Protein backbone atom coordinates (compact mmCIF):
# COMPACT_ATOMS: atom_id res chain seq x y z
CA UNK A 1 0.00 0.00 0.00
CA UNK A 2 2.83 2.35 0.89
CA UNK A 3 6.58 2.20 0.34
CA UNK A 4 8.26 0.56 3.31
CA UNK A 5 5.02 -0.47 4.94
CA UNK A 6 4.56 -3.61 6.99
CA UNK A 7 1.49 -5.79 6.66
CA UNK A 8 -0.43 -7.95 9.11
CA UNK A 9 -3.54 -10.04 8.57
CA UNK A 10 -6.33 -10.15 11.13
CA UNK A 11 -7.57 -13.74 11.35
CA UNK A 12 -11.21 -14.69 10.87
CA UNK A 13 -11.44 -15.73 7.21
CA UNK A 14 -10.03 -18.54 5.03
CA UNK A 15 -7.87 -16.12 3.11
CA UNK A 16 -6.48 -12.64 3.37
CA UNK A 17 -4.96 -10.84 0.46
CA UNK A 18 -2.70 -7.84 0.76
CA UNK A 19 -4.43 -4.61 -0.20
CA UNK A 20 -3.57 -2.59 -3.26
CA UNK A 21 -0.21 -0.87 -3.32
CA UNK A 22 -0.54 2.87 -3.50
CA UNK A 23 1.78 5.21 -5.33
CA UNK A 24 3.17 8.14 -3.42
CA UNK A 25 3.43 10.11 -6.64
CA UNK A 26 0.80 12.65 -7.62
CA UNK A 27 -0.14 16.22 -7.05
CA UNK A 28 -2.67 17.59 -4.59
CA UNK A 29 -5.89 19.18 -5.80
CA UNK A 30 -6.07 22.87 -5.03
CA UNK A 31 -9.07 24.12 -3.10
CA UNK A 32 -10.41 27.54 -2.33
CA UNK A 33 -8.50 29.20 0.50
CA UNK A 34 -10.55 29.10 3.68
CA UNK A 35 -13.21 26.79 2.23
CA UNK A 36 -14.54 24.25 4.69
CA UNK A 37 -14.44 20.88 2.90
CA UNK A 38 -17.66 18.86 2.62
CA UNK A 39 -18.21 16.40 5.43
CA UNK A 40 -16.16 18.35 7.97
CA UNK A 41 -17.19 17.92 11.61
CA UNK A 42 -15.27 19.56 14.43
CA UNK A 43 -12.96 17.12 16.24
CA UNK A 44 -13.71 14.37 13.72
CA UNK A 45 -10.12 13.11 13.97
CA UNK A 46 -10.26 12.49 17.72
CA UNK A 47 -9.52 8.87 18.54
CA UNK A 48 -12.72 7.05 19.39
CA UNK A 49 -12.65 4.99 22.61
CA UNK A 50 -11.86 1.30 22.42
CA UNK A 51 -15.02 -0.79 22.61
CA UNK A 52 -15.64 -2.30 26.07
CA UNK A 53 -16.34 -5.57 24.24
CA UNK A 54 -12.85 -5.65 22.73
CA UNK A 55 -11.06 -8.58 24.34
CA UNK A 56 -7.66 -7.80 22.86
CA UNK A 57 -5.33 -9.29 20.30
CA UNK A 58 -2.13 -9.46 22.32
CA UNK A 59 -0.16 -11.17 19.56
CA UNK A 60 -0.90 -8.40 17.08
CA UNK A 61 -0.40 -5.66 19.67
CA UNK A 62 3.05 -7.11 20.33
CA UNK A 63 3.80 -7.07 16.60
CA UNK A 64 2.83 -3.41 16.49
CA UNK A 65 4.98 -2.57 19.50
CA UNK A 66 7.98 -4.35 18.02
CA UNK A 67 7.53 -2.51 14.73
CA UNK A 68 6.98 1.02 16.04
CA UNK A 69 9.31 0.72 19.05
CA UNK A 70 12.12 -1.64 18.02
CA UNK A 71 14.68 -2.76 20.57
CA UNK A 72 17.49 -2.06 21.04
CA UNK A 73 16.68 1.59 20.38
CA UNK A 74 18.17 2.88 17.14
CA UNK A 75 17.66 5.59 14.56
CA UNK A 76 14.95 3.38 13.05
CA UNK A 77 12.64 4.60 15.81
CA UNK A 78 12.71 8.05 14.25
CA UNK A 79 12.02 6.96 10.68
CA UNK A 80 8.60 7.02 9.06
CA UNK A 81 6.75 3.78 9.71
CA UNK A 82 3.61 2.45 8.05
CA UNK A 83 1.85 -0.72 9.24
CA UNK A 84 -1.10 -2.23 7.35
CA UNK A 85 -3.74 -4.31 9.16
CA UNK A 86 -5.88 -6.16 6.64
CA UNK A 87 -8.65 -8.73 6.72
CA UNK A 88 -12.41 -9.10 6.44
CA UNK A 89 -14.83 -6.63 8.00
CA UNK A 90 -15.51 -7.24 11.67
CA UNK A 91 -12.22 -9.04 12.27
CA UNK A 92 -11.09 -6.43 14.78
CA UNK A 93 -8.68 -4.32 12.72
CA UNK A 94 -9.89 -0.93 13.93
CA UNK A 95 -10.24 -1.93 17.57
CA UNK A 96 -6.75 -3.43 17.57
CA UNK A 97 -5.27 -0.27 16.07
CA UNK A 98 -7.14 1.95 18.53
CA UNK A 99 -6.06 -0.15 21.49
CA UNK A 100 -2.44 0.18 20.45
CA UNK A 101 -2.56 3.93 19.79
CA UNK A 102 -4.45 4.69 23.01
CA UNK A 103 -1.88 2.68 24.95
CA UNK A 104 1.05 4.70 23.62
CA UNK A 105 -0.54 8.06 22.76
CA UNK A 106 1.48 9.97 25.37
CA UNK A 107 4.60 9.30 23.29
CA UNK A 108 3.29 11.42 20.42
CA UNK A 109 2.61 15.11 19.88
CA UNK A 110 -0.73 14.19 18.32
CA UNK A 111 -2.77 11.11 17.42
CA UNK A 112 -5.46 11.30 14.76
CA UNK A 113 -8.06 8.94 13.31
CA UNK A 114 -8.84 9.59 9.65
CA UNK A 115 -11.94 8.10 8.04
CA UNK A 116 -10.30 6.82 4.86
CA UNK A 117 -13.45 5.48 3.21
CA UNK A 118 -13.63 8.42 0.78
CA UNK A 119 -11.50 11.29 -0.49
CA UNK A 120 -14.09 13.69 0.94
CA UNK A 121 -13.73 12.32 4.46
CA UNK A 122 -9.92 12.24 4.19
CA UNK A 123 -9.77 15.90 3.16
CA UNK A 124 -12.23 16.87 5.89
CA UNK A 125 -10.04 15.02 8.39
CA UNK A 126 -6.90 16.90 7.38
CA UNK A 127 -8.84 20.15 7.61
CA UNK A 128 -9.74 19.18 11.18
CA UNK A 129 -6.05 18.57 11.92
CA UNK A 130 -5.27 22.05 10.60
CA UNK A 131 -7.96 23.59 12.82
CA UNK A 132 -6.79 21.63 15.87
CA UNK A 133 -3.29 23.02 15.45
CA UNK A 134 -4.43 26.63 15.01
CA UNK A 135 -3.13 26.99 11.47
CA UNK A 136 -5.53 29.95 10.98
CA UNK A 137 -9.15 30.18 9.96
CA UNK A 138 -8.15 30.35 6.28
CA UNK A 139 -6.64 26.87 6.38
CA UNK A 140 -7.34 24.27 3.73
CA UNK A 141 -7.07 20.51 4.12
CA UNK A 142 -3.60 20.73 2.54
CA UNK A 143 -2.49 22.86 5.50
CA UNK A 144 -3.10 19.96 7.85
CA UNK A 145 -1.15 17.62 5.59
CA UNK A 146 1.76 20.07 5.38
CA UNK A 147 1.78 20.55 9.15
CA UNK A 148 2.27 16.83 9.66
CA UNK A 149 5.04 16.72 7.05
CA UNK A 150 6.97 19.62 8.58
CA UNK A 151 6.34 19.03 12.28
CA UNK A 152 9.55 17.64 13.77
CA UNK A 153 7.94 15.77 16.66
CA UNK A 154 6.46 12.31 16.24
CA UNK A 155 2.76 11.95 15.45
CA UNK A 156 0.45 8.96 14.83
CA UNK A 157 -2.28 8.61 12.20
CA UNK A 158 -4.83 5.83 11.81
CA UNK A 159 -6.19 5.69 8.24
CA UNK A 160 -9.30 3.67 9.03
CA UNK A 161 -11.38 1.65 6.55
CA UNK A 162 -9.25 2.32 3.47
CA UNK A 163 -11.42 -0.05 1.47
CA UNK A 164 -11.94 1.80 -1.83
CA UNK A 165 -9.31 0.61 -4.35
CA UNK A 166 -10.01 3.68 -6.49
CA UNK A 167 -8.58 6.01 -3.85
CA UNK A 168 -4.85 6.69 -4.12
CA UNK A 169 -3.91 7.09 -0.47
CA UNK A 170 -0.40 8.05 -1.52
CA UNK A 171 -1.53 11.59 -2.25
CA UNK A 172 -2.79 11.88 1.32
CA UNK A 173 0.43 10.63 2.90
CA UNK A 174 2.50 13.33 4.69
CA UNK A 175 5.74 13.67 2.72
CA UNK A 176 8.20 13.39 5.57
CA UNK A 177 10.98 11.21 6.93
CA UNK A 178 9.18 10.73 10.24
CA UNK A 179 5.74 9.86 11.53
CA UNK A 180 3.79 6.72 12.41
CA UNK A 181 0.86 5.32 10.45
CA UNK A 182 -1.52 2.38 10.71
CA UNK A 183 -3.85 1.62 7.79
CA UNK A 184 -6.83 -0.71 8.15
CA UNK A 185 -8.28 -2.24 4.99
CA UNK A 186 -10.11 -5.32 3.74
CA UNK A 187 -9.90 -4.97 -0.04
CA UNK A 188 -7.66 -6.93 -2.36
CA UNK A 189 -6.61 -6.42 -5.95
CA UNK A 190 -5.49 -8.72 -8.74
CA UNK A 191 -3.47 -5.96 -10.37
CA UNK A 192 -0.68 -5.88 -7.80
CA UNK A 193 1.36 -8.26 -5.65
CA UNK A 194 -0.70 -10.38 -3.26
CA UNK A 195 -0.07 -12.64 -0.29
CA UNK A 196 -2.66 -15.26 0.61
CA UNK A 197 -2.80 -16.67 4.13
CA UNK A 198 -4.41 -20.11 4.65
CA UNK A 199 -6.99 -20.60 7.41
CA UNK A 200 -5.46 -20.71 10.86
CA UNK A 201 -2.11 -19.29 9.77
CA UNK A 202 -0.95 -15.90 10.99
CA UNK A 203 0.95 -13.56 8.70
CA UNK A 204 4.00 -11.91 10.20
CA UNK A 205 4.98 -8.37 9.32
CA UNK A 206 6.48 -8.05 5.86
CA UNK A 207 7.97 -5.05 4.15
CA UNK A 208 6.63 -4.05 0.77
CA UNK A 209 7.65 -1.29 -1.59
CA UNK A 210 6.58 0.10 -4.93
CA UNK A 211 8.90 1.59 -7.51
CA UNK A 212 7.52 3.15 -10.68
CA UNK A 213 4.25 1.30 -10.05
CA UNK A 214 6.12 -2.05 -9.96
CA UNK A 215 5.80 -3.96 -6.71
CA UNK A 216 8.73 -5.71 -5.05
CA UNK A 217 8.70 -7.89 -1.96
CA UNK A 218 11.40 -7.50 0.70
CA UNK A 219 12.23 -9.76 3.60
CA UNK A 220 10.92 -8.94 7.07
CA UNK A 221 13.22 -6.91 9.28
CA UNK A 222 15.25 -8.85 11.84
CA UNK A 223 13.23 -7.76 14.83
CA UNK A 224 9.97 -8.94 13.23
CA UNK A 225 11.32 -12.16 11.77
CA UNK A 226 9.73 -15.30 13.16
**Model pLDDT, residue 202:** 39
**Model pLDDT, residue 35:** 79
Contacts for 222-225 with beta carbons within 8 Å, 24 or more apart?
Answer: 223/66, 223/70, 223/71, 224/6, 224/63, 224/66, 224/67
Going by C-alpha positions, the residue among 188, 166, 180, 83 that lies closest to residue 122 is 166
From residue 154, alpha-carbon distances to 32, 54, 110, 177 in Å are 29, 27, 8, 10
d(CA 101, CA 70): 16
What are 121-146's pLDDT values in tens digits? 999 999 999 999 988 666 789 999 99
d(CA 4, CA 142): 23
- Average pLDDT over the chain reads 73
What are 30-83's pLDDT values in tens digits? 444 467 999 999 999 999 999 988 877 788 899 899 999 987 665 556 788 998
Q: Are 95 and 50 in contact (CB under 8 A)?
A: yes
d(CA 37, CA 149): 20
Domains of the chain: 5-224 (3.40.50)
Helix segments in 47-195, DSSP class H: 58-68, 93-104, 119-132, 141-150
d(CA 79, CA 58): 25
Q: Hey, how many other C-beta atoms are within 10 angstroms of the C-beta on 30?
A: 8
- What is the average pLDDT across 176-185? 92
Q: Hey, how many other C-beta atoms are within 10 angstroms of the C-beta on 13?
A: 16
- Phi, psi (rounded to 5 degrees) for 145: -65, -45
Q: What does pTM read for this prediction?
A: 0.72
Going by C-alpha positions, the residue among 175, 151, 212, 215 that lies closest to residue 19 is 215
**Model pLDDT, residue 217:** 31
Amino acid sequence: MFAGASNFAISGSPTFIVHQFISEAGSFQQETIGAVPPGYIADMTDLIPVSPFFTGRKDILLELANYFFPEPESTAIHERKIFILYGIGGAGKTQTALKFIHTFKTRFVGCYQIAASSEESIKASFYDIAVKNDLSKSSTWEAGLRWLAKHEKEWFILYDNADDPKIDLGQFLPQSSHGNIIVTSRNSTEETAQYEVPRGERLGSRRWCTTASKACHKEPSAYLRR
